[in-house]
Amino acid sequence: MELGLKIWVSSKSGDDIMGTGRWSLLKAINEEGSLMAASLKLGVSYRKAWGLIRKAEEDMGFQLVRKVRGGSKGGETTLTEEGKSLIKAYEVFYMQVSRDAEKAFRKFKGELKRK
């Protein structure tokens, strides 16, 4: 048996605020320093990636990325301090829930075997 687990954060009205998709995109931007490189890495279009970021910023209520036009790479996108804090905090949150769930799941399997 395998544990299935899906974790996300939504607004009170049910809209997605943060989940694996947005987190992966922000993390890729942080690593690549470019939205184009990040979208290529994740296999989504630049347009879609940009839309996801705009929506995430709108939902979070603060800026997540900063665009720097020009420069040696011809246009960079970096995370703001708030963006960096968000992916770090989400990662800690996600890992904690995953670890706790795996622990509870081992206990559950143990309970079943005992019968």
Per CB under 8 A, contacts with a second copy among 72-101 are 81-82, 85-86, 89-90, 92-93, 96-97, 100-101
User: Is residue 68 involved in binding a second copy (CB under 8 A)?
Assistant: no
Distances (CA, A) of 46 to 24, 26, 55: 14, 13, 14
Q: Please identify which residue in 19, 36, 42, 57 interacts with a second copy, judged by CB under 8 A.
A: 19
Nearest partner of 22 among 37, 38, 4, judged by Cα: 38
Which lies closer to a second copy via its Cβ, residue 73 or residue 89? 89
We find the least distance from the C-beta atom of residue 5 to a second copy, in angstroms, to be: 6
Four-CA torsion 20, 21, 25, 26, nearest 10 degrees: -50
Q: In whole angstroms, what is the distance from residue 82 CA to residue 93 CA?
A: 16
User: Is residue 33 involved in binding a second copy (CB under 8 A)?
Assistant: no
User: Is residue 58 involved in binding a second copy (CB under 8 A)?
Assistant: no
